[in-house]
Amino acid sequence: MKAFTYIRPTTAKEAISAFASAAEGARYIAGGTTLYDLMKLNIERPPFLIDVTAIAGLNEIDINEDRLRFGASVPMSAVASHETIRTSYPVLAESLWKAASQQLRNMATGTHPVKAAVAVARSPLV
């Protein structure tokens, strides 16, 4: 794995500033599970990792009558086990439970399946 600089901002403004001033290829992480695997395989080689887990509000689930929103650092397990999500969005809850082992669900974020698909799509074919 290539060396990288790790940054853990506490505000969205700091995260944006860190990304803007970082070298090309910088990546935001919350759980980072897929990215870490791709880094170990030298498929991804980001020079900077910007960890957004310390930013207030990114670990919250917000549900109202017409919207479901969960922050970038909400674990898959929290989304899958949320009572309203289980009853109002059962396909989402079930897919997150089946997407990974318990250990991975506790580390990976609820946005992990989307980010994983993007990472695979961006990876060069070997």
* Paired tokens of 90: 């059962």
Highest mean pLDDT of the ranges 5-14, 62-71, 112-121: 5-14
Q: Return the pLDDT at 110.
A: 64
Judged against a pLDDT cut of 80, whether residue 117 lies above it is answered with: no
List the beta strands (DSSP E) in the chain.
5-7, 27-29, 48-51, 61-64, 67-70
Domains of the chain, each with CATH number or no CATH = 5-122 (3.30.43.10)
User: Average pLDDT for residues 12-20, to the nearest whole number?
Assistant: 94
**pLDDT tens digits, one per residue of 50-82:** 999 899 988 888 888 888 888 888 888 888 889
Of 14-18, 32-36, 103-107, 112-116, the least confident: 112-116
